[in-house]
């Protein structure tokens, strides 16, 4: 009997190999190192990365599918890491071949909307030209829409953005960011924009332990350290600052540390002048922030006056 011809084996692909070749592990590890906490955000980023790797595997096997919609909405309070995550997302998309350039153009309303007739379209198109091939990050995107002002030109910018997001979505990813409540209102008022956002990621506020960890990472990156009493003082400061208006999470912590460094520098300088030119300072003295540098904040004086 004649032997039956052997069928060619079905083509296969390896997700693990695609993951390794993309360098995705490095990007996700960098995200973990840069941002404390934010577990729901990091989980969602990994899910999106997994989807994109699977889509790449499907393309390798000739499976047809439309390009996935990648426009995103990042919602949360200031200082919760939205811009950092957008930068890492640009890296992920570039490594997987979904954008041509590993770059992010960050703008606000002022970069897109003009002050007079005929000014908005050129401004918006210039921003889009710079961002094309990468990621366009629009912070406080809800300011584009101001229905209370009949002569506002933000709607013109929105219409241009909508057209590009639809017609050139394979060459540009748009991320809209801002406070959750205001972004919800923005999307309700602009259903065309809402329908183009495939991925909504909410950035939670940091708790006190996470803020303290962020402070320790920030000081370490600047070659400073908090002594044991300063850590306790900073924990007390965080409890007071969170309760005050305009708290901006990691951004507020960075500002507090900058002021503590100013006080530390003033303290060291006064001590050095009093001691004379023969006095020498050690690296430990130059890098240590003390409890006094933290507790000199006016928040403590105001809290004491209120009791």
> Quick one: pLDDT at residue 287?
96
**In this structure, how many other beta carbons lie within 10 angstroms of the beta carbon of residue 7?**
6
User: 121 and 153 in contact (C-beta within 8 Å)?
Assistant: no
pLDDT at 97: 87
- How far is residue 63 from each of residues 57, 67, 99, measured CA to CA in Å? 9, 12, 20
> Per-residue pLDDT tens for 135-187?
999 999 999 988 777 678 889 999 999 999 999 988 999 999 999 999 999 99
Q: Long-range contacts: 253-262, Cβ < 8 Å, 24+?
A: 253/79, 253/211, 253/214, 253/215, 253/218, 254/218, 256/215, 256/294, 256/297, 257/215, 257/218, 257/219, 257/224, 257/289, 259/297, 260/289, 260/293, 260/294, 260/297, 261/222, 261/224, 261/289, 261/293
Task: Label residue 225 exposed, middle or buried (CB < 10 Å: 0-12, 13-18, 19+).
Answer: middle
Q: What is the pLDDT of residue 8?
A: 62
| CB atoms inside a 10 Å sphere around CB 112 | 26
Its sign, for the CA torsion 143, 147, 149, 152, is positive
Rounded CA gap, 172 and 130, in Å? 10
Distance CA 235, CA 239 (A): 6
pLDDT of residue 3: 58
211 CB neighbour count, 10 Å cutoff:
27
Mean pLDDT, the chain, rounded, equals 91
Residues 6+ apart with CB under 8 A from 46: 28
DSSP type of residue 65: -
Q: Please report, for the chain, the start and end positions of each structural domain, with discontinuous segments joined by +.
A: 15-203, 208-306
- In angstroms, the Cα distances linking 158 to 46, 183, 189 are 30, 14, 12
Q: How far apart are CA 113 and CA 237, in angstroms?
A: 39
What's the CATH code, domain 208-306? Answer: 1.10.8.60
Q: Could you give the C-alpha distances from 275 to 268, 279, 299, in angstroms and in order?
A: 10, 6, 31
| Residue 71, pLDDT score | 96
Each residue's pLDDT tens digit, 76-108? 999 999 999 999 999 999 998 889 999 999 999
Q: Is 84 exposed, middle or buried (0-12, 13-18, 19+ CB in 10 A)?
A: middle
Low-confidence ranges of the chain (pLDDT < 70): 1-8, 65-66, 150
Q: Quick one: 15-203 is in which CATH superfamily? A: P-loop containing nucleotide triphosphate hydrolases (3.40.50.300)
CA distance 128 to 225: 43
Predicted local distance difference test score (pLDDT) of residue 242: 95
Give the pLDDT of residue 60: 84
Q: Which two tokens stand for residue 125?
A: 């198109």
């Amino acid at each position: 009997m004649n032997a039956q011809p052997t069928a060619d084996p079905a083509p296969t692909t390896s997700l693990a190999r695609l993951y390794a070749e993309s360098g995705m592990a490095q990007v996700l590890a960098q995200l973990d190192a840069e941002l404390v906490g934010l577990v729901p955000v990091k989980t969602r980023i990994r899910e999106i990365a997994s989807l994109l790797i699977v889509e790449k595997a499907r393309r390798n096997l000739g499976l047809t599918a439309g390009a996935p919609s990648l426009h995103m909405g990042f919602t949360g309070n200031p200082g919760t890491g939205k811009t950092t995550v957008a930068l890492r997302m640009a890296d992920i998309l570039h490594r997987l071949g979904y954008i041509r350039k590993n770059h992010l153009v960050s703008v606000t309303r002022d970069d897109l909307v003009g002050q007079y007739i005929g000014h908005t379209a050129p401004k918006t198109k210039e921003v889009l030209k710079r961002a094309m091939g990468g990621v366009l990050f629009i912070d406080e995107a809800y300011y584009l829409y101001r229905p209370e002002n009949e002569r506002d030109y933000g709607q013109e910018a929105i219409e241009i953005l909508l057209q590009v997001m639809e017609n050139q979505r394979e060459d540009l990813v748009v991320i809209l960011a801002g406070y959750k409540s205001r972004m919800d209102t923005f999307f309700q008022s602009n259903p065309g924009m809402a329908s183009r956002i495939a991925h909504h990621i909410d950035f939670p506020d940091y708790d006190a332990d996470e803020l303290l960890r962020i402070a320790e990472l920030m000081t370490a990156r600047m070659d400073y350290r908090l002594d044991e009493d300063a850590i306790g003082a900073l924990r007390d400061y965080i409890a007071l600052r969170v309760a005050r208006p305009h708290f901006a999470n990691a951004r507020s912590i960075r500002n507090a540390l900058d002021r503590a460094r100013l006080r530390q520098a003033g303290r060291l300088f006064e001590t050095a002048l009093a001691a004379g030119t023969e006095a020498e300072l050690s690296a430990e003295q130059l890098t240590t922030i003390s409890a006094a540098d933290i507790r000199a904040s006016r928040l403590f004086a105001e809290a004491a006056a209120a009791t």
